[in-house]
Amino acid sequence: MVVRPPYGFNESFFQSECITCESKACVTSCDEQIIFIEEDGIPRLDFSKSGCTFCEDCASACEANVLSLEHTHTSEQINAVFRISTEGCVAHHGVICFSCKEPCIDDAILFNGLFNPVIDTDKCTGCGFCLGRCPTQAISFDAIAMATYPNETE
């Protein structure tokens, strides 16, 4: 499973449409420069240098409607689940560090006082901004299936 740009419908739609897309307009539309094309011709996100602002530019640029604002189930949600390693995170070992909390505009990183941060998966949009900020690379993620509303799969 791969992390795709927001505003997608489901993985099959990426697989069927993006391989024949010549413009790859989503890539150049993204000011954060987090969209990359894989060898199979399908876009994926790379959070190593930045994250997604949900600016909607990639959805506007995609003429094939693989990315579209009509896909409301992924309009502010990327198909990734983030976590903080309690082994790697220094704030789980008595060191004060808020490097991940500061860029998280959704306030999805919860501290117990000054320490022991965890990610609230209900609040986390998968934007990825926290990932590159962690000095010990203690934040990781897994791609998950894009949720779809039942009436959109018919």
Rounded CA separation 56/67 (Å): 9
Q: Contact 111/117 with Cβ under 8 angstroms? A: yes
Contacting ligand SF4 (CB under 6 A), which of 9, 10, 35, 77? 35
Tell me how many residues contact ligand SF4 (CB under 6 A).
41
Of 104 and 150, CB closest to ligand SF4: 104
Nearby residues of 43 by Cβ (< 8 Å), 6 or more positions away: 4, 5, 14, 18, 24, 26, 27, 35, 36, 37
Contacting ligand SF4 (CB under 6 A), which of 3, 89, 97, 119? 119
Contacting ligand SF4 (CB under 6 A), which of 67, 89, 91, 134? 67
Of 26 and 91, CB closest to ligand SF4: 26
154: tokens are: 């018919």
Residue 125 touching ligand SF4 (CB under 6 A): yes
